[in-house]
Amino acid sequence: MNTPGTNLSWITIRKFVNDIHLWAGLISGIVLLIVCLTGTLYVYNTEIREWAASHLYRVEVPPGQTRLAVETILENGQKYIEGDITGLKIPYEANRSLQVTARAEGDLSRFGTTYFFNPYTAAYLGNSKEPNPAAEVMGNLFSLHRWLLLDKIEEPLIGGLENRKLGSYITGSATILFTIGVLTGLIIWVPRKARYWRKGLKIKFDSNWKRINHDLHNTLAFYSAIVLFLMGVTGPFWSFPWYREGLQKTLGTYQERREAKPEKSAATTNAAPKESGAMALFPMEEYVEVADLALGYKGSYSIDLPQKGATDVRISKKRAGFFAPAASDQVVVDAGTKAVKQVALFRDQPFNQRISRSIKALHVGDVYGSFSKLLYFISCLIATSLPVTGTLIWINKMKKKKQTRKPPKGRETVTSY
C-alpha cells in the first residue's frame, strides 16, 4: 500500500521528468522533424540507388545456364577496367551482377571505381561513375540529415567554424535531446497504478482527435522505444569526438589514434613497381571453395586481392536471406598456397566488440537484413510524427490552462454579507 508521502514524491518526480521531456522536445523539434524524415527515407538508400540504376545490378538468368568463370569475365572486361583490380563481389543471388573494383592511377576516391558485368555472358553493364539521378538525390538527402545542407555553403556562418561541423553539432545536439526524450517518455508512460498499464498500449480511435493524438504520441513511441533509443544513442557518434570516445570507452574498445606517418611524394609513389599484378593467383572459384569449407552457409562474397606486395586474399562472406545479419565473417587465405591463415567469425567476438563494430548498422537499421530495415523504417516514421503530435499535446494543454483560469461568461461574483 502506497503512503501519501510516497505518492507525492512520485508525482513530483514525474512532473520533473515531464518538464525535461517537454523542453527537450520543444528545443529540438524542428531539427528532429528534418533528421527523422530524412532518416526514414535513407533507410532504403542502397535499394533506391540500385533501383534507379537497375541495369547495373540486375541481370536476366538464362534458362539452364551457369555462371562463367570469374577469370573469363575479367579477361573479356579488361578493355573496360582502368587501373589495378583491388576486389570482387560475387553475389549469392542468381539475378545479380558481378562487381569488380579497380583503382586507376591518381584516383583519390575512397573506393575507386566499380565495374559491373553479366556473370552469364561477361557483358559489360557499366560502372559506378555513371550519372545516377537517384544517387544525387540521396546524397543531398544525406547532407540534409547529417549537416542540414550547411556543407553546401562555402562561407563560414559562425566565425572560423566549418559549416559542416556546425551542421553536425546541431543535428548531434538534437539527437542527444531526442534520446533524453525517449528515456523520459518511458518514465512518463509508466502508469501510477499497475492495473492501468494496458490502457497505454491501445489507441482509442473512437475518441476525439485530441485523445487520438495523445495515444498516437504515447503508444507508438512506446512500441518503437527500443529502436528509437538505438538510433538516438548512436547518432552523435559522428558529430562529437568526445561522444565517440566516450561511447568507445564505455564499450571498452577505445584505442588512441596514432599520428599518421608522412606520406610519400607522388613521384616516389608512381615510381614504385606494381607488385599486385606480378603475383600469380589461383582461379577465384578455388579461393571461394576454400572459404566455403570454413564458412558452410549460403551467402555473398567480397574478395580483397593482395596489393603492394601483400600475399593474402581476404574473403568476406555475408549470409543471404530476409533475416540475415549484416555483419560478415572473414577468411584470410595465402594467395600462393590457398592455405587458410585465419578465420574470423563475427559471433565469436566479444559482445562489446560486436556492438562497437555495429554502430553504423545499429543507427541505419542494417542489422538483420530486410527485416531490421523494415522495422527501422516504421520506427523512424513514428519518430518523424513525435515532434508534431507532442507539440499538439503541449498546445492543447496550454489552451486548457488558459480556459480554467478565465471565469465562465455570464456568471457574476456574488458577495455574501
pLDDT, tens only, 271-330: 333 344 446 788 899 999 999 999 989 999 999 999 877 889 999 999 988 888 888 999
Q: Which three cell numbers stand for residue 387?
A: 515532434
Beta bridge partners of 393: none
The pTM of this model reads 0.84
b/e for 396-410, b at 16 or more Cβ within 10 A? eeeeeeeeeeeeeee
d(CA 181, CA 185): 6
Instruction: Kindly compute the dihedral angle of the four CA atoms of residues 64, 69, 72, 76, in this order, to the nearest 10 degrees.
Output: 60
pLDDT tens by residue, 145-193? 999 999 999 888 998 899 999 999 999 999 999 999 999 999 888 876 5
Q: Which long-range contacts (CB under 8 A, 24 or more apart) does 188-192 make?
A: 188/14, 188/17, 188/18, 188/21, 189/218, 189/221, 189/222, 192/7, 192/10
Q: How many Å from the N-terminal Cα to the C-terminal Cα in the chain? A: 46
Q: State residue 387 phi and psi, 5-degree precision.
A: -60, -35
- In this structure, of 49-53, 120-124, 269-273, 373-377, the range with the lowest mean pLDDT score is 269-273
The DSSP letter of residue 295 is: S
**Residue 258: per-residue pLDDT:** 64
Residues 6+ apart with CB under 8 A from 201: 219, 222
Nearest to 132 by CA among 208, 62, 232, 56: 56
Pick the residue with more confidence: 195 or 325? 325
pLDDT reported for residue 406: 62
- Among residues 320, 324, 317, 318, the alpha carbon closest in space to that of 371 is found at 324
Q: Measured between alpha carbons, how far is 135 from 131 in angstroms, rounded to an integer?
A: 8
Q: Which residue has the higher pLDDT, 397 or 61?
A: 61
Residue 195 pLDDT grade (very low, low, confident, very high; cuts 50, 70, 90): low
Q: Give me the residues paired with residue 303 across strands.
A: 88, 315
